[in-house]
Chains A and B, each alone.
Chain A
Amino acid sequence: GENVEQHPSTLSVQEGDSAVIKCTYSDSASNYFPWYKQELGKRPQLIIDIRSNVGEKKDQRIAVTLNKTAKHFSLHITETQPEDSAVYFCAAMYYGQNFVFGPGTRLSVLP
């Protein structure tokens, strides 16, 4: 089955700096890679996603890159703000049905 690794497990940045979170996956059949943000006590919410036929996608301060050959994808957040503090999960969808989440990254944006 699919296995998703995510690094780092915790990340602290100063407000205004950039944050980068990296994920790797094992199953080359995976073709959809979403990123979820989960604040304490809240539901996971999709912040950006990328399909396997695209190498990069950007939405304002958030961007995701995908390297299919190396089987890794990354989340980039620029100009971080305190409200970006949360746990971020990457995920890989395989066989068109399953979601396998990475273990998560706890991001703290320090004022």
Chain B
Amino acid sequence: DTEVTQTPKHLVMGMTNKKSLKCEQHMGHRAMYWYKQKAKKPPELMFVYSYEKLSINESVPSRFSPECPNSSLLNLHLHALQPEDSALYLCASSQETLAGDEQYFGPGTRLTVT
């Protein structure tokens, strides 16, 4: 299985809602990533988990809260988002966080904040 899956595919939420994005991989990868991609822009790294521990937080606002319950799962908890947070949220995984480890991307969750 060489696939990263993400749910839901689409999500519409109000600014007072709490929701979660889910990501799953069964490739035995020990590194997992969250990226945010706005239209016509490149993916921007948000968080990196290595061996289930948060290793990188790219100064992301606290209304985004990542969680890695086990080596196969990665969640992104959302609370009190702003309309400008509307974007495609991509999850990725790699063998580890070493240079040369290919990152496999999931299909993304398209988030709209109203």
Contact = CB atoms under 8 A, between A and B. Distances in A.
- A and B associate in one complex: yes
B61 interface: no
B98 A104 contact: no
Scoring A31, A43, A49, A101 by chain B CB atoms within 10 A of each residue's CB, the highest score goes to: A43
Interface range for A: 20 to 34
Contacts of B86: none
Contacts, number: 53
- A contact face: mostly helix, strand, loop, or mixed: strand
A97 B48 CA distance: 8
Contacts of B56: 97-98
Contacts of A102: 42
Contacts of B105: 43-45
B8 interface: no
Closest 9 CB pairs of A and B: A101-B42, A32-B99, A43-B105, A31-B99, A97-B97, A32-B100, A44-B105, A43-B107, A93-B99
